[in-house]
Amino acid sequence: MKLTVGVLGRASGVRGEIRVAMRTDEPERRFAPGAVLLTDRVEFPELTVSKARLSGKHFVVSFDEIPDRNTAEALSGAKLLVETDAAQTRSAAGGADADRVSELESAFVGGDTSGEDSPSGWEETEAEDGFYRHELVGLTAVALNGETLGEVSDLLLGAAQDLLEVTTPKGEKVLVPFVYEIVPEVDLEAGRVTMNPPGGLFPSS
Q: Do residues 81 and 140 both lie within one domain?
A: no
Domain limits at 60? Answer: 2-117
Share of the chain above pLDDT 70, in %: 74
62 C-beta neighbours (distance < 10 Å), count: 20
Q: Do residues 28 and 107 both lie within one domain?
A: yes
Residue 67 has pLDDT above 80, yes or no: yes
What local confidence, expressed as pLDDT, does residue 166 receive? 96
Q: Do residues 100 and 146 both lie within one domain?
A: no
> Which domain-ending residue is among 83, 117, 151?
117
What whole-number distance in Å separates Cα of residue 119 and Cα of residue 111? 11
Q: Is residue 173 part of a domain?
A: yes
What local confidence, expressed as pLDDT, does residue 162 receive? 81
> Which domain-ending residue is among 117, 150, 169?
117
Q: pLDDT, tens digit, for every residue of 16-38?
A: 888 888 887 778 888 899 999 99
Q: Is residue 64 part of a domain?
A: yes
Residue 39 has pLDDT above 50, yes or no: yes
N- to C-terminal Cα distance for the chain? 64
What local confidence, expressed as pLDDT, does residue 140 receive? 96
CATH number of domain containing 143: 2.30.30.240
> Which domain-ending residue is among 74, 91, 117?
117
Q: Do residues 34 and 88 both lie within one domain?
A: yes
Q: Do residues 110 and 24 both lie within one domain?
A: yes
Residue 4 has pLDDT above 80, yes or no: yes
Q: pLDDT, tens digit, for every residue of 85-138?
A: 543 444 444 444 444 344 434 434 444 333 333 333 333 345 555 677 788 899
Radius of gyration of the chain from its Cα atoms, rounded to whole angstroms:
19
Q: Is residue 79 part of a domain?
A: yes
Mean pLDDT of the chain: 77
Q: Do residues 40 and 110 both lie within one domain?
A: yes
Q: Are 81 and 113 in contact (CB under 8 A)?
A: no
Mean pLDDT of 142-155: 94
Q: Do residues 72 and 148 both lie within one domain?
A: no
What local confidence, expressed as pLDDT, does residue 128 receive? 53
Q: Do residues 37 and 75 both lie within one domain?
A: yes
Tally of domains within the chain: 2
User: Which string of DSSP letters, residue by residue, matches 31-75?
Assistant: TSTT-EEEES-TT-SEEEEEEEEEETTEEEEEETT--SHHHHHHT
What whole-number distance in Å separates Cα of residue 203 and Cα of residue 205? 6
What local confidence, expressed as pLDDT, does residue 125 receive? 44
Q: Is residue 74 part of a domain?
A: yes
Mean pLDDT of 32-45: 93
Distances (CA, A) of 183 to 14, 52, 76: 10, 24, 22
Q: Do residues 12 and 94 both lie within one domain?
A: yes
CATH number of domain containing 109: 2.40.30.60
What local confidence, expressed as pLDDT, does residue 127 receive? 55
Q: Do residues 144 and 112 both lie within one domain?
A: no
User: How would you write 10-22 as a 3-class SS string?
Assistant: EECCCCCCEEEEE
More confident residue, 192 or 93: 192
More confident residue, 92 or 40: 40
DSSP strands (E only) in the chain? 2-11, 18-22, 36-39, 46-55, 58-63, 79-83, 140-143, 148-156, 163-167, 173-177, 185-187, 192-195
What local confidence, expressed as pLDDT, does residue 62 receive? 92
Residues in the chain: 205
Q: Are 137 and 150 in contact (CB under 8 A)?
A: no
Quote the distance between the C-alpha of residue 57 and its chain's center.
Answer: 12
The sign of the CA dihedral 40, 42, 43, 44 is positive
What local confidence, expressed as pLDDT, does residue 195 receive? 95
Q: pLDDT, tens digit, for every residue of 153-174?
A: 998 876 567 889 999 999 999 9
Q: Residue 148 — pLDDT band, cuts 50, 70, 90?
A: very high
